[in-house]
Amino acid sequence: MSQYKFTALSEEDTDRLGAALAELLPAGTTMALCGTLGSGKTRLVQAIVQAYGVAREDVTSPTFVLCQEYYGRRRVFHLDAYRIADDDEFLELGPEEYFQSPHITIVEWADRVERCLPDERIQINAEVTGDCSREFEIVGIGERYQGVVEKLASRLASRI
């Protein structure tokens, strides 16, 4: 497991993180986003999807529909487990199909369904650290994602 902490002092920094992730995520990646309300999870998804050519305003948290699909240079499935009662309810949505696809799958509130997630994934823990600042801990879980996190850290460090 490798990890990297990124401090975003503004929404633009979160956008920079999202754009860098979008460049580096391999096909078939599942990304698990964890954090409280207002910690920047949806903003990060907007930045990733925008990097694939989808308008930011088209990206909303899928809390009530549970899954949004975005079609840009890459296809992204955006799931939200906030209103999911338990693992069984989440599994009824058929997430395995998303996880096994060649597309990017992003799950907000992933900590609520952690046992249902693929063993290998990118996990991002987001934390509010100030009015406009957030800290993102990016963890590569599984051998497949070790290099991704290392490249991400290098790319973001070189843009300071």
Tens-of-pLDDT digits for all 160 residues of the chain?
689 999 999 999 999 999 999 999 999 999 999 999 889 899 999 999 999 999 988 887 766 567 889 999 999 999 999 888 899 999 988 899 999 999 999 999 999 999 999 999 999 999 999 999 999 999 999 999 989 999 999 999 876 5
In angstroms, how far is the first alpha carbon of the chain from the final one?
25
146-99-32 Cα angle (round to 5): 55
Q: How far apart are CA 81 and CA 48, in angstroms?
A: 19
The three-state secondary structure class of 12 is helix
Whole-prediction pTM value? 0.92
CB-CB contact of 146 with 26 (8 Å): no
Place of tokens 């996990």: 123
Q: Does domain 2-157 have CATH number 3.40.50.300?
A: yes
